Structure 1
Amino acid sequence: MSRSAKVFRSKWLLLAAIIVGVGIRLLAATRGHNYDVDSFIIVADLVDHGRNVYASTSRYNYGPIWLNVLHAIYRLSSRDVVTFRYMLAGFLGLVDVGIFIILWRKFRRTTAYLFFFNPISIIITGYHSQFDNLAILLGLLSVVLLGDHLDKRLSKRELLGLFTLGLSLMTKHILFAFPVWLAVKQKGSLRKIAVVIVPISVFLLGFVPYWHEGKQGIIQNIFLYESWNNAYFYKWFVPMGIQLIFTRKMIWISLLAFFAFVFRRRNAPESLLLYTGVLIATSPAIANQYLAIVIPFVAANTNIFLVLYTLIGTWYLLVDHHGLHISSLQHIINIDQGVWYTILVCMLCTALVWIAWRQGIVAFLKKGVLEAKIQLGYEE
């Protein structure tokens, strides 16, 4: 087969994969919808009537970009709720395509496919229709623009990257501590300061048009908002003596800062994915949609623990009443939601430890095996 024929075939296979991936996500949307989609409809309708969302509902906890996206989709769907749901799932499916393409170019083809066809990603995008993937896509675009030139004056391209990171925060602020991860890599105090200040400033400025009427809602429902305080990492991995001194959020922030230094030598795209792993593994709150945030990380760092994370997380989302709620499967493994979350957090934590200190762990195990053999007389 000629080179041109191979390229042609590869492009068609890529297009087919994209069509199938988006199609599966739309298929997941046929299972109905949940509370979050109802909230999105409320928000879109408020914007449609010219209302300040932050002053009108407590069911919106994000920056202003997403409310405008919702309104655009709502209008394109002719304000029909069913059409809106499918268009929303389709839009988020295209966002996943964007992540797929960046992973393809910056990592490996295998990484891209493992992300795009991961069942957790498919279920959360198609059924749950949560939009963490949009914030991650913007974050990935930002680090692609930033590159890894750490000791030069910030270029226009790098400033655009920092602005894009601010847009990610303005969409959904899951990368709130990532500027610190970038800052520890930089050489020179001005670069360190700029990398932190620019995206955070963009994020904060996004609220200016809504502040006068909606400041109370912005403060309460965004800056002071707390999700489910289930804190599985805190309960199971933090000693009780430390829990008496430090709150779950303090531990979370401390670990995000600590791992910024652990992974400081990784390039920017790798760092972003590792950041999401630390973010969710040590989070003071876990909910179904958070399980998909780490899927690019899972795809790029596949090991036995992350394979188990995918398998267990997929089964949980298939049977959970906030997931695809497939009743015929629910009786097979009937355990509490908290047990599922605990297992998944354990898988993430173990995977992170393995990724961060693999060489030391392997050397320690080899030394232990050698000493055991000597004591048992297998080695001279």
Structure 2
Amino acid sequence: MILSNLRVLLSKKTTRLVVILLVEAIVLRVLMATQGQNVDFDSYRIVAEIMHSGGNVYAETTRYNYSPLWAYILLLFEEVRILFQADIWLFRLQIVLLLAMADVLIALVLYKISGLKSFALYIFSPLVIFVSAFNMQFDNLALALGLSSLFLLKKQKIRVSIVLMVASLLVKHTLIAYLLWLLFRRDVPKKGLFVILPMAILSLSFLVYGIEYEYLLRNVISYRPNDAAPLYNMFVPDIFKGIF
């Protein structure tokens, strides 16, 4: 009885600590977002304005190289900003909060897998905070969905894990090479369905949007990082640059 009560008490204390740490981590990200912006945020503004005007992000800019989903998320944030007649800060805040929630999800999965230390190391990593709150690169959103998918796959929750992996690829195809690698693993249940279905839906998403092949080839399949990524251009073979 005493041991049982002690476990409950420790569990409650740990839960409170996790919640406090998460709140602090989110506040840090919001504060980081006030320190300026970079080219990624400028690209988001361009995409949001094109979407708001009813344009085609693949035809009207070379700054969008993903499935349509992220463009629609940016459109939603832009519509909210316009609804409240707010300045650009509200648009930025919505992105920061979404990416902060993605970091929270990743941290919680790490907590489930390996405990509080891994959770804290990730959620308070200066690099993680800088990338998601200042650079606003949304890879963490795709990774959060993908990591959750793999976590549930291990628990044999196949359907939910497939849905999450589809969502991950639709946000950004960050894990596409990892999915292909899973085909060669023997411990992945339903691996054909788990790998092929998300990739098929990703491909179909471009068709649903009505993107012309010319723009798909130029801005997505043949996309190459610019000169701001010298190490990437130096070490990654050309054949893989449209995937990674």
Residue 59 of structure 1: which of 58, 63, 84 is its match?
Answer: 63
- Does structure 2 conserve the Cα–Cα contact (< 8 Å) formed by 1:179 and 1:199? no
Q: Output the CA distance in 1 between the equivalents of 2:118 and 2:187.
A: 30
The counterpart of 1:37, out of the listed 41, 49, 53, is 41
Shift of the 91–191 alpha-carbon distance from structure 1 to 2, 3 Å rule, reads closer
Paired position in structure 2 for 1:141? 148
Counterpart in 2 of 1:339? none
Tell which structure's C-alpha radius of gyration is larger: 1
Aligned to 1:206: 205
What is the 5 A alignment of 1:72-83? 72-78=76-82, 80-83=87-90
The aligned counterpart of 1:92 is 99
Work out which structure has the larger RCO, using CA pairs closer than 8 Å and 6 or more positions apart in sequence. 2
- Partners of 1:199 and 1:68 in 2: CA distance: 19
In structure 1, what is the equivalent of residue 184 of structure 2?
Answer: 184
TM-score by length of 2: 0.84
Once the two structures are superposed, the pairs formed by residues 1-380 of structure 1 within 5 Å of their partners are 2-78=6-82, 80-147=87-154, 157-186=157-186, 191-212=190-211, 214-228=212-226, 232=231, 248-250=237-239
Q: Amino acid of the residue matched to residue 173 of structure 1?
A: H
- Please state how far the C-alpha of 1:207 moved relative to its aligned partner: 1.0
Q: Post-superposition shift, 1:179?
A: 1.5
Displacement, 1:83? Answer: 1.5
Q: Structure 1-normalised TM-score?
A: 0.56
In structure 2, distance between residues paired with 1:206 and 1:20: 37
Alignment partners' CA distance in 2, 1:158 and 1:219: 33
**TM superposition shift of 1:3:** 4.1
Per the TM alignment, residue 4 of structure 1 is displaced from its structure 2 partner at its CA by 3.8
Contact 2:225 2:233 (8 Å CA) reproduced: no
- Specify the code of the residue in structure 2 equivalent to 1:196: V
Number of residue equivalences: 235
Closer, same or farther: CA 39–234 of 1 in aligned 2, 3 Å? closer
Q: Distance in 2 between matches of 1:187 and 1:137?
A: 22
Q: Which amino acid aligns with 1:221?
A: N
Quick one: distance in 1 between partners of 2:233 and 2:63?
Answer: 27
Distance apart, 1:202 and its partner CA: 1.3
Distance in 2 between residues matched to 1:101 and 1:48, nearest whole Å? 35
| 2:34 alignment partner, SS class | helix
Q: Given that residues 104 and 112 in structure 1 are in contact (C-alpha distance below 8 angstroms), is that contact kept between their aligned partners in structure 2?
A: yes
Determine if contact 2:142/2:173 at 8 Å carries over to the other structure.
yes
Query: Counterpart of 1:360?
Result: none
Q: In the alignment, residue 117 of structure 1 is paired with which amino acid? A: F
For 2:222, the aligned partner's letter is L
C-alpha deviation, 1:2, in angstroms? 4.5
Gaps of 5+ in 1: 150-156, 237-246, 254-278, 284-380
* Cα offsets for 1:253-306 (capped at 9, x unmatched): 9xxxxxxxxxxxxxxxxxxxxxxxxx9xxx7xxxxxxxxxxxxxxxxxxxxxxx
- Residue identity opposite 1:249 in structure 2: D
Call closer, same or farther: CA 1:234–1:132 in 2, change over 3 Å. closer
1:26–1:86 Cα contact (<8 Å) kept: yes
CA contact (8 A) 2:66 2:172 kept: yes
Compute the displacement of 1:191 (Å).
4.4
